[in-house]
């Protein structure tokens, strides 16, 4: 993989992981549309690790405050991550093998757009949407269960958890912040899982020591840097604007993919 490809993939991961538009779909579609080979397992590990680093780096003050003042909230976040982690361990193999086709992604993009749009409409009608401090076990269970749906490529972990948070009464920015905090344990777990899988294939140390190490570093640094900027931009954007911009993008992308499939210009595999 060239340094240019590594940079582009890092840019795509860092940007789309922290926008409700599905990073998994874009990481499959962008290389395919550009005629590049799909990212290797080593690159997948680097990219997921980079976005986890971006989350920890951006919210480090929040994490420090939570450790000191709200350890119960940390327990909530850990519990909310469990459904996606458990189901990911159990079903990631079949999902990778059978549900990464373009038709599935297109359908998930459109379905996720509808869920996000409904949450925005419901949230805009509430007179007093709740703040992050009002999150309890019941809401965490609901949002955590929704997060598990993001195992399906095209759903968007951020999108479905924001939709679930707003549907349960949180204001838009609070739902986004909660979604980002909730995603930290999951992304750390995914990154660790990729490294374990890489080691099992006997490619751990060899993959790092090959000339591809520079490309891995480029993708990691790019994804982490862009990720921090994307988080900040998203939270600022949602303070003043609705989620309907992302709904429109998802509908346009999903509809375009379906059109390309029906016209035979894009393979469904």
What average pLDDT does the structure give for the chain? 88
Q: How many domains does the chain have?
A: 1
196-231, pLDDT tens digit by residue? 777 776 654 444 444 478 888 999 999 999 999 999
Among 166, 171, 81, which Cα is nearest to 73's? 81
Q: Tell me, yes or no, whether 68 lies in a domain.
A: yes
| Mean predicted confidence (pLDDT) in 140-158 | 93
Within a domain: 185: yes
On whether residue 268 sits in a domain, the answer given is no
Domain presence at residue 269? no
- Please tell me the least confidently modeled range out of 2-6, 39-43, 100-104, 118-122: 39-43
Please give the residue that has the higher pLDDT: either 38 or 144: 144
Q: What would the two tokens of residue 158 be?
A: 């951020």
In a domain, 128, yes or no: yes
pLDDT digits (tens, 9 = 90+) for 236-260: 999 999 999 999 999 999 999 999 9
- Put simply, whether the predicted model's pTM sits higher than 0.85 gets the answer yes
Query: What average pLDDT score do residues 49-65 get?
Result: 93
Distance CA 94, CA 107 (A): 18
**Containing domain of residue 136, as a range?**
3-263
Q: Does residue 203 lie within any of the structural domains?
A: yes
What the block records as the tokens of 93 is 């193999």
């Amino acid at each position: 993989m060239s340094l240019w490809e590594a940079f582009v993939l890092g840019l795509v991961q860092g940007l789309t992981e922290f926008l409700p538009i599905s990073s998994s779909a874009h990481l499959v579609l962008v290389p395919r549309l550009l005629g590049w080979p799909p990212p290797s397992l080593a690159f997948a590990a680097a990219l997921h690790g980079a976005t986890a680093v971006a989350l920890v780096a951006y919210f480090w003050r929040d994490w420090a405050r939570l450790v000191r003042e709200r350890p119960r909230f940390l327990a909530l976040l850990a519990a909310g991550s469990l459904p996606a982690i458990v189901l990911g361990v159990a079903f990631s193999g079949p999902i990778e093998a059978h549900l990464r086709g373009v038709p599935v992604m297109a359908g998930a993009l459109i379905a996720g757009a509808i869920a996000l749009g409904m949450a925005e409409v419901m949230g805009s009608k509430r007179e007093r949407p709740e703040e992050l401090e009002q999150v309890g076990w019941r809401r965490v269970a609901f949002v955590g269960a929704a997060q598990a749906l993001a195992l399906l490529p095209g759903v968007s972990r951020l999108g479905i958890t924001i939709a679930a948070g707003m549907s349960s009464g949180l204001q838009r920015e609070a739902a986004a912040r909660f979604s980002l905090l909730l995603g930290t344990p999951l992304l750390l777990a995914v990154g660790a899982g990729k490294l374990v899988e890489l080691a099992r294939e006997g490619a751990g140390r060899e993959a790092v020591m090959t000339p591809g190490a520079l490309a891995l570093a480029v993708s990691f640094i790019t994804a982490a840097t862009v990720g921090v900027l994307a988080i900040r931009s998203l939270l600022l954007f949602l303070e003043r604007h609705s989620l309907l911009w992302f709904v429109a993008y998802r509908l346009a992308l999903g509809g375009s993919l379906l059109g390309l499939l029906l016209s035979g210009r894009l393979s469904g595999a």
